[in-house]
Structure 1
Amino acid sequence: MDVQETPTAGAWGEWNPTEDSARPVRGKHRVLKARGGLARSSTVLGVGVIAAVGAGGIATAQDRPQVAISMPSIPDLLGGGGHSGSDGGAGAEAVSQAAAEGGASTAGVPRQADAGEALRNRILQQAETEQDAVEAQARADAERTARESAAQEARTQREAADKEAEAARVAAEKAAAEKAAADKAAAEQTATKAAADTGAGAGTSTGTGSGTKASGGYSLPTSSYTLTSHYGAAGSMWSSGYHTGLDFAAPTGTPVKAVGGGKVISAGWSGAYGYRIVLQLADGTEVWYCHLSSMSVTSGSVGAGETIGRVGATGNVTGAHLHLEVRKGGSTVDPLAWLNSKGLDV
């Protein structure tokens, strides 16, 4: 194959390789000596030029401009120039070696391309790995936030449940305490009533101011009392200007008795009198029991000494007591004198 002609020798001089400068890069090649003077075989010259250029064996060539080299044709390399067949075989071997060396010299371009592609792939792989790590961290953060929110909600619900349970417990304890107090009060009232009824039924007398005393079918209105305000006492505490009854001061809950047999014609709230029971006796006399804390009967007939209510402090009062009034024909009379007339020692 022909290439561009070599410039004239006047440009930088003609160069002919020698045996020392035309050494092959690898392997061993025979260098045929010239026959008849300085002329060398075209085959050996071509192989030497290829080997020298491929191996970069001449240092001065790097400092000079590139020039075109005339290459012999393939037929010349294979059998031209009057060389023997053995020389032709050596030329073919040299061409193959040169081609291999040329391939080795140009193989750097694909290898460089492969290295760049590998670097690019490593960069992309590293970027993907970093992106995966970022996404994994984001998922972990989201899961941690969700767990923290769920834990906070659970704590809030548990605290609310604890508060409700505590409120229910306090309410239950309060209700139980109130029930126990009510049961105790009821039991005390029942015991007091039973004791009073037993004493009245036996007709016992414990003396003035300390118990009930029956006489001719009549009984004192209460027991364990102290007389505090008598009938007719003047004062601004009473709307009429004077006291219209007799006060028996006693603890709240003390039983109140019927002074004689009769029927209950009124029972309920009566303003300044508080809770009041009106007992009408057989002769028409009315006995008023005022400021009661409770009423055992509200209608019907009762016998002398029967419990009809409890001492209290309802209405217009300054303390627990029984206000007893006795009325005949609609007018009040002195309860103390009336009780004495019935044989009762008040």
Structure 2
Amino acid sequence: MASNKPAPEAPSRFQGDHGDYGTGYGVADYGYGTGLDADRTGEFTTDFRSDAGDGEAERGWSEWNPTEETVRPVRGRHRVAKQRTGLARSSTVLGVGVIAAVGAGGMATAQGKPPVSISVPDAITNNLPDAKSLPGVGALFSDGSQTDGADQGETAPLTTAGITTAEAEQGTTDAGEALRARILQQAEQQQDAAAAEAKAAEEKAAAEKAAAEAKKQQDAAEAKVAAEKKKAEEEAKKKAEALRLAKLAASYSLPTFSYTITSTYGQAGSMWASGHHTGLDFAAPTGTPIKAVHSGTIKSAGLAGSYGYRTVLELDDGTEIWFCHQSSIGVSVGQKVTTGETIGRVGATGNVTGPHLHLEVHTPDGSGVDPMAWFHSKGLNP
């Protein structure tokens, strides 16, 4: 690399004559031979001084760019070219050596030297306090008055470290006592904080319990009010239904009187062709009047096979009421009748075992329903 090759020595005005500088620097310190100096001198003389005069000698010190052609390869040890400032470098090395030697000698003999006295100006000495008057320090000086020193050492602490400004203002001088007081105060504060926290927890629990109890009472009151309201509504509904049925009962009527219910709707038996009873039987003596259960129109009246003499009353809503087994019919087809009007008489015509009124109820679509339930819906209880 280029850094391993020494740069050619610049032309020097001291080169050649080796006065005080040449002889002491180039050869003695670095071990360069006379031949190297001569070679170097010849190279620089040819390169820099061939055409330069005395006045242009200083301008020949321009930037030198080394190349492989201008730098001679060096083998073995790295050589350091002699510089024109050899005196300065030698002086520097010599100075460092002297300092090192003096320092080592001084360190070796420092312990054997007597202490050096330091003088302080009187202006400072006169203003310094007496050492014996310092708290905790006077006892260290013995001048024969041991009692005073002992008292002062006992009453005044050696140091005020650990004492706060507030404690010092309160007159506290013992750091240990101050620390003990602070620890006790901190313990009391922690106990007070724990007591306050426990009290707050108790108050919170009591408040929550009171709120829960109040909510429970409120819920109970609301439930009671709701139950009473529901009961009142049910009672009002019952009253309204009773009133409605009462009005219906005024417009509806039972078909006969002095009767006995002998057969009900859906009752099974071999006496009926369908295998079960399709109406409600009111047993009464022959000739007992039969009344219209509601106002309507006579749809049919006459003999109807096993039903005997039958009258069909059609109500305003299309419902049909069949009155069967009559001994006689007192109305004709198309006749308008009103509630409670006599339309025939109880008899034993048709397929019967005795005098009775067989009554059936048919909805507008022709389906048969239970006459007992139908009478109940109209406010009547056969």
TM-score computed with the length of structure 1 as normaliser? 0.38
> Which structure exhibits the higher relative contact order, with contacts defined as CA atoms closer than 8 Å and separated by 6 or more residues?
1
TM-score computed with the length of structure 2 as normaliser? 0.35
